[in-house]
Amino acid sequence: MSVHNTPQTVTIKTLAKLKAEGEKFSCLTAYDYCSAYAVSKAGVEVILVGDSLGMVIQGHDSSLPVTIDDIAYHIRCVRRGNVGSMIMADMPFMSFYSEDVTLKNAAALMSEGAHIVKLEGGAWLSETTRLLSERGIPVCAHMGLTPQSVNHLGGYSVQGRDPDAAQTMVDEALVLQEAGASMLLLECIPEELGERITKALHIPVIGIGAGAKTDSQIMVWHDFIGMWPGRPAKFVKNFLADTDGDIQAAIALYHSQVKAGTFPGPEHSYE
């Protein structure tokens, strides 16, 4: 029997151990072979094949038009370039509206090479989360600003500033953890709330615009390299500008700053 020396893939157990030991980890989106290779070679623990591709790759004004087939295609590209990172895949808009549809779509993404799927929503996702986790499909819940609900939310804005809304978010995060969520992603919330939820949960918490006290940070690739033509969000930092255009150095800088807790700084966080 031949032995293949392949890199050990980061797993849920890896990330849980990092949280338990108080060590942070980093995440970046990637949508193609080359960026996936660069990101994973730099040691970034999680690659997200996000429905953000609808905006940064396809040119839509939101993530809503993205389909399961779109995500599956980009997972295949990323899988070929990945050398050890965990691959997380977004379940796009209306891809988990019923039990049968959810199982079919999540299974399709896992079959293409995803290691965990991410779903946007609160406590109402508890049964869906339990359904998937009981069938061996890890779930990352996504709370706070949920871009798939942008029309319901009335735009892209900071969530959880009201004390009642903040408490609801804490309570719903605990419900999703109890339902079997393996991770939680918090987007665009006050730093204090991000810290509060992170401390309340035993599962790893990833932040984007949620302050520096979460267990991890994530950025969209095109924001990270300063390529997005629109106005950058407050939580965005162009790491490529700090490394004279050296992409591999930019990834290494991002990874090291996340691990050290120096990114995001106060200027990238909400009160």
187-238 pLDDT, tens digit each: 999 999 999 999 999 999 999 999 999 999 999 999 999 999 988 899 999 9
The overall average pLDDT reported for the chain is 95
Distance of alpha carbon 248 from alpha carbon 153, whole angstroms: 37
Query: Per the residue annotation, which of 187, 191, 192, 267 is the catalytic one?
Result: 187
pLDDT of residue 7: 60
Q: What average pLDDT score do residues 161-185 get?
A: 97
pLDDT of residue 2: 35
Cβ pair 39, 28 in contact under 8 A: yes
Dmax over CA atoms of the chain, in Å, equals 61
| Active site annotation includes 187 | yes
Q: Comparing 17-26, 150-159, 196-205, which segment has the lowest mean pLDDT?
A: 150-159
pLDDT of residue 63: 96
- The amino acid at residue 114 is A
pLDDT of residue 225: 96
- The amino acid at residue 94 is M
Distance of alpha carbon 121 from alpha carbon 125, whole angstroms: 6
CATH topology of domain 12-268: TIM Barrel (3.20.20)
Which residues sit opposite 47 in a β-bridge?
28, 87
pLDDT digits (tens, 9 = 90+) for 69-107: 999 999 999 999 999 999 999 999 999 999 999 999 999
Per residue in 134-161, is it b (16+ CB within 10 Å) or e — as a string? eeebbbbbbbbbbbbebeeeeeeebbbe
Cβ pair 56, 28 in contact under 8 A: no
Element (H, E) at 69: helix 68-81
Cβ pair 105, 118 in contact under 8 A: no
51 is in an annotated binding site: yes
Cβ pair 184, 116 in contact under 8 A: no
Distance of alpha carbon 22 from alpha carbon 43, whole angstroms: 18
Cβ pair 123, 171 in contact under 8 A: yes
CB atoms within 10 A of CB 219: 24
State how far Cα 249 lies from the chain centre.
Answer: 22
Sequence ranges of the domains in the chain: 12-268
Kindly tell me the burial class for residue 7, based on how many C-beta atoms sit within 10 Å of its own C-beta (0-12, 13-18, 19 or more): exposed
52 is in an annotated binding site: yes
For residue 94, is it left (φ>0), alpha (ψ between -120 and 50) or beta?
left
Element (H, E) at 40: helix 33-41
**If DSSP codes are grouped into helix, strand and coil, which group holds residue 203?**
coil
pLDDT of residue 98: 95
pLDDT band at 6 (very low <50, low <70, confident <90, very high): very low
pTM > 0.85: yes
90 is in an annotated binding site: yes
Distance of alpha carbon 80 from alpha carbon 201, whole angstroms: 33
99-112 and 68-81 helices, crossing angle to 10°: 20
Pairing of strands 216-219, 46-49: unpaired
pLDDT of residue 179: 98
- Kindly give, in sequence order, each residue whose CB lies less than 8 Å from that of residue 102, ignoring residues fewer than 6 positions away: 91, 95, 96, 128, 131, 132
pLDDT band at 26 (very low <50, low <70, confident <90, very high): very high
